[in-house]
Structure 1
Amino acid sequence: MNSINLKARAKINLALDIINKRPDGYHEVRMIMQTINLFDKIYIKKINKPSIIIDTNIPYIPKNKNNLMHKAATLLMEQYGISSGVYINLHKVIPVSAGLAGGSSDAAVTLIGLNKLFNLNLSYKELMAIGVQIGADIPYCIMRGTALAEGIGEQLTPLSPMPKCYVLIAKPDINVSTAQVYSMVDIDAFEKRPNVEAMIQGIEEQDLTKITNHMGNVLETVTIKKYPVINQIKEKMLEKGAIASMMSGSGPTVFGIFRDKKKAQKALYDFKLDNIGKNIFLTTIFNRKERG
């Protein structure tokens, strides 16, 4: 095998709680993560030249060592003594700096792709141990599906698959710095936290109502205060028939969970018509048993 095509899928946070801040500056979190069927396309090819060449359809994405894919490829190739090089073409669809782990997913898929191309036969657990050295979300983006994430996000427990639903994604025309949002967090000021245990029970029971009733993201207390448009989009989602709506990650992307496909399609049409959000997508959840 000399080349491979892969899909790097986005994630949403069904729950995001912060437990405490560690002495090293990182925050201990408790999150329920879910992969969705919104993805970047990645093509990786072996080349004779000992270098990592990245090409992309988005001009402002770095193509050097500042790119997470480049970091992932460098770390893996150095660790396993790979002397040849790779060409990586990224067709970006997941919005950048959106709280959807697009960059982390691209890096995760780079590790998966190189593992296959160079016949390293590394397990997902081994790839996840490499990935966490680059970013806390990368192990989850390797695992995918429905999972409880703890620690700084790298301690993962697979959960039962999320029940079928439709997910409307809307990102306003702003970018948010994850590091800046976390730096502004006041844990003692949280008035409402997600009920993670109740959500896990709802997932096990395949009860979408129980899951959505207990959703929550404590980072909304920071990001919405700075960008009120996020709350406006949440309210619009609920007006259009979403059974729940929440900001993903540190934002600014908002998602709405829909039980009914027709309502979700109508909401997508209305959001586009009203020009609410710069990037708008209607998608579904992705579970580990699905291929691709």
Structure 2
Amino acid sequence: MKYSIKAPAKINLSLDVLKKRDDGYHEVEMIMTMVDLADRIDLSMRNDGRISVDVSEGFVPSDERNFAYQAAALLKKRFNVGHGVHIYITKRIPVAAGLAGGSSDAAATLKGLNELWKLGLTIDELAELGAEIGSDVSFCVYGGTALATGRGERIETLPDPPPMWVVLAKPPIGVSTKDVYGGLNIKTARHAKTAQMIDALHRQDSEAVFSLLHNTLEDVTLKIHPEVGHIKEQMKRFGANAVLMSGSGPTVFGLVEKESRVNRIYNGLRGFCDDVYAVRLIRSSETCLNTDENGML
């Protein structure tokens, strides 16, 4: 038996870091939403009880470091599953990009194996398991648009942003999330207006959403990697309504209301950046799971 499922990327409409916690994590408030740039996870039942992973990109780990592997191992151990699984990940989301590609792969694996192994877990139970793997996995289990608090594992569903295009651009660099958080001075950092952004989403006010985009980590990353700032400037110059770095970076996204501007922004960025994508927001009403037992997506 086989099962296939999409693992969409996320962007942060708002990211605020409130304090350092006693457990070493940071207390955050993040408003996240998903875009239709997605990895594909193909799950094939193994009868020998083993978990194996192959990835289309050779630089992505295929052992216990892989979040999808960890998701399968967690379910197998927690629910004493005798079957194994082979996981094939077709990567489209850039790696180490601030787009939660690994977390979304883990979330998709949890949801897919829940069906393949017939575990009968609820979405809330899967999200709770996801929190044991990584801070963004719970959100990726739910999908849509949501406020994430705590270390990212407490999820409150929000209205989707108004329909618009999203242009993503990732410079050819890697960003250490640990270094970015380590360089953050919470007392002097600029903080997000989270409540106002939530209100803007409820009112479906595009202009307010544009003006309230904020990422407390952005200033830190810009100091370490000024090329991220260059992409922001170019994206604005080419006509994006609003621009922000996602997560700890280095991917920058631009929100674009008019489709006529999308190609101009996309083509302009392709002149100096290889990883550029023009995508749409995923609506909460849309399903990210289009599958059958033959693995057709």
TM interval, shorter chain, is over 0.9
- Equivalent pair of 2:145/2:159 in contact (CA under 8 Å): yes
Aligned to 2:292: none
Of residues 74-83 and 178-187 in structure 1, the stretch that sits farther from structure 2 once superposed is 178-187
The one-letter amino acid paired with 1:71 is Q
Instruction: Show the counterpart of 1:247.
Output: 245
**Residue among 172, 191, 195 paired with 2:193:** 195
Query: What's 1:93 paired with?
Result: 92
Structure 1 match to 2:204 = 206
Distance 1:73 1:288 in 2: 26
Residue in 1 aligned with 2:164? Answer: 165
Q: Percent identity at matched positions?
A: 40
The structural deviation recorded for 1:120 is: 0.9
What does 1:1-292 correspond to in 2, within 5 Å? Answer: 2-190=1-189, 192-272=190-270, 274-275=271-272, 277-292=273-288
Secondary structure of the equivalent of 2:187? helix
Name the CA distance, whole Å, in 2 between partners of 1:223 and 1:164.
29
- Flag structure 2 segments of 5+ consecutive residues without an equivalent: 289-297
**Which stretches of structure 1, 4 residues or more, deviate above 2 A after TM superposition?**
none
Q: Which moved more, 1:193-202 or 1:248-257?
A: 193-202
SS state of the match for residue 3, structure 2? Answer: strand
Q: Offset of 1:193 from its aligned partner?
A: 2.1
Q: Report the Cα distance in structure 1 between the residues aligned to 2:61 and 2:269, rounded to whole angstroms.
A: 31
CA RMSD of the aligned region, Å? Answer: 0.9
TM-score (norm 2): 0.95
8 Å CA contact 2:7–2:105 kept in 1: the answer is yes
2-structure distance, mates of 1:74, 1:278: 35
Counterparts of 1:8 and 1:143, CA distance in 2: 11
Query: Which amino acid is 2:201 matched to?
Result: I
Q: Determine the C-alpha separation between the residues in 1 that align with 2:106 and 2:274.
A: 25
SS of 1:188 mapped into structure 2: coil
Amino acid paired to 1:282 = A
Ranked by relative contact order (alpha carbons within 8 Å, sequence separation 6 or more), the top structure is: 2
TM-score by length of 1: 0.97
Task: Report deviation, 1:48.
Answer: 1.1
Partners in 1 of 2:267 and 2:220 — Cα distance? 30
Query: Would you say the 8 A contact 2:33–2:160 is kept in 1?
Result: no
Q: CA deviation at 1:76?
A: 0.4
- Give the aligned length: 288
Corresponding letter in the other structure for 1:33: M
1:224-282 CA-to-partner distances (Å, cap 9, x unmatched) read 0010111111111111111110000000000000001110122111211x22x231000
